[in-house]
A and B are shown apart, each in its own frame.
Chain A
Amino acid sequence: MTTSPVAADLADASFHLRLYVAGQTPRSALAQANLYALCEARLPGRHHIEIVDLMDEPARARTDGVIAVPTLIRVSPTPVRRVVGDLSDTARLLAGLELGPLATEGAAS
């Protein structure tokens, strides 16, 4: 399931990921933990994670276009990709970051 081919130009790209959270809630902690775990596993040495707490920087919700939290934005490589949620669904997270196929169940078989 995690061995699916990855787009060639993304194979060696360095990922700049930004995670928007609202305060230190259990959900925000879970999202951060899930994100770090995935990056260690799939993007070792080629990722940069930035955490934005909208409680501290509320204006960025508007400027950065955030409505749901947590929201993960793939700042680079472009195009920008967005994933919402606590990132507990790894398959969908990989799909959202274009690191794996979108439809993991059913379609592959």
Chain B
Amino acid sequence: MTVGPWPLSESGTGVLEKAATGIEGFDDITFGGLPRARATIVTGAAGSGKSMFGVEFLAQGARAYGEPGVLLSFEETADELVANAASIGVDLRAMADEGTLVVDSAAGDLDDLVQSGAFDLEGLLLRLAAAIDAVGARRVVLDTVETLFSTLPDETTVRREFARLLRWLKERDLTVVVTAERGQQGRLTRHGIEEYVSDCVVVLDHRVEDEVATRRMRVAKYRGSPHGTNEFPFLISGRGLVVMPLHHDELTEVSEERVSLGIPELDTMVGGGVFRGSTIMISGSAGTGKTSIAACAADAACRRGEKALFLSFEEPSGQVVRNMRSIGLDLQHWIDKGLLVVQHMRPAITGLEAHLASLHMILDEHPAEVVVLDAVASLSRGVASYASASAVARDIAMLRLRGATTVLTALAGTHDDPHTDVSASSLVDAWLLVRNVENDGERNRLLMTIKNRGSFHSNQVREFLLTDDGPRLVDVFVGPDGVLTGSAREQQEARDASTEDARRRDQERRRASIERRREEVEAQIATLRRQLEDELADFADVDDSAADEAADRAAERADSAARRVGGGGP
């Protein structure tokens, strides 16, 4: 996986053109690579990897960016250079054969020199010019220029000539890496050459703390460009240099997609699964089932047809598979299908550096979407907590860069103390805590979410059961004596169940009696309605005859009135 050239137009640094190094992570922390057509000092003590930085810069330039290069070493012979480059997977001879690189060793050319009178370094310029012209080089690495200062007699001359050399390379539009020895008392270089190379200074460090070697890189200076100022861990593996940016939030795409952890109730607790590419830590004391939860996440990935990686720092892989079978997880068939790799690693033996390198290589061959690290506390066994926290941080950073969803398990000190050995909590996005609770002569497990970045998370404590059909989460009962789990919960469930039964029977009885009453009332209503209808019918008959009589009476009144008008007129 190569991080491509950073889009300058988007980074807002547009003015300074950059040459991508192709070194994983480095182009991220420098927002695009080294300053083009300028010189960069890469300084560090012996064995800090500065020559490898130069080799990788040239190899990537030729391989990925079509920029041939020249490697001029003042320290190592051509054979040594070829062998060293091979250790990071770069074949200098092949590059020379295909015309993308000139390897020139000046080792020995400066030995046992006697000076007689004034001189200059025109020979070096002509030598470089010939090499540059031979392949049309765009990149030049001078490793280590300080040999010039320590072997040539007249320092004033060497300083003047070195400055001239850099100007000359700049005029030819070459991007130059100059390696230098770290000086005493915090000086960047032994001979103060940073005075001449002021555009960009990269400091490499190879520290051994508590018997653990760790490589770090810092961009001490980068004129005209923003850059990460922290020390970034890096490693030199058989596949080249990799720098691990610790602050990667802006650098990686954030996914909105949720992925299941394989336990439906747990997915609900964290708002419908965890975000893809996020980091989940499951902490708890020994025997709380952390591994089982983590294995479920790996199993769920395989069910989705994704690749998963289970790194066990504690148990041999066969043992992991066997143990998970006991809770109904068949990891073996995922392994057979090529979806799952269960790998046993012992970082305390191999060293954290090698551990990270091998993790890198495993992921190159098996690009897992879900990675389980079980348990990260084992990373710290026998090494300083600082170093192990850094190792965990690097693992997390690397997995995040790869977009893998990472599930870490961590051993908590005691069951009351949620703090883990490794203070990785700030690096993780979601944190689940599994606790043992003891009462009534049994131990039960409780699971709760402590944090879940950018997401709903349940404030409920759940009981965590390991059944033959895999882990399950059930609601706990909260009573006067606190949270009830295990048998106590089951008894409570039984008690509740019998109470419920009695209540239901009582209700049935009442419903039946109401039903009977309803039937009675409805019968009464029907009777009353019939009576009413009969009464209405009788009343209608009476009403008709009364109307006829009224009409007759009205007619009679009209007749008698007419008679009175006719007989009595004047």
Contact = CB atoms under 8 A, between A and B. Distances in A.
Q: Do A and B bind each other?
A: yes
Given A54-B123, A68-B113, A88-B118, 19 more contacts: A22-B122, A23-B122, A34-B117, A55-B126, A58-B126, A58-B130, A61-B124, A65-B108, A68-B123, A69-B123, A70-B119, A82-B112, A82-B114, A84-B153, A85-B117, A86-B118, A89-B117, A90-B116, A92-B115
Interface in B96-122: 104, 106, 108-110, 112-122
Contacts, number: 102
A62 B116 contact: no
A82 B115 CA distance: 9
Interface in A84-108: 84-90, 92-93, 95-96, 102
Contacts of B130: 58-59, 61-62
A55 B122 CA distance: 10
B401 interface: no
B424 interface: no
Interface residues of B, number: 26
B120 A88 contact: no
A20 interface: yes
Contacts of B152: 68, 84
A109 B131 CA distance: 49
Interface of B: 104, 106, 108-110, 112-124, 126-127, 129-131, 148, 152-153
Given A59-B130, A61-B130, A31 B106 contact: no
A8 interface: no
Contact of B116 (A23, A27, A55, A83): A83
A84 B126 contact: no
Contacts of B123: 20, 22, 54, 61, 66-69, 71
Interface of A: 20, 22-23, 27, 30-31, 34, 54-55, 58-59, 61-62, 65-71, 81-90, 92-93, 95-96, 102
A78 B112 CA distance: 14
A56 B106 CA distance: 21
Query: A23, A61, A86: which has the most chain B beta carbons within 10 Å?
Result: A61
Contacts of A65: 106, 108-109
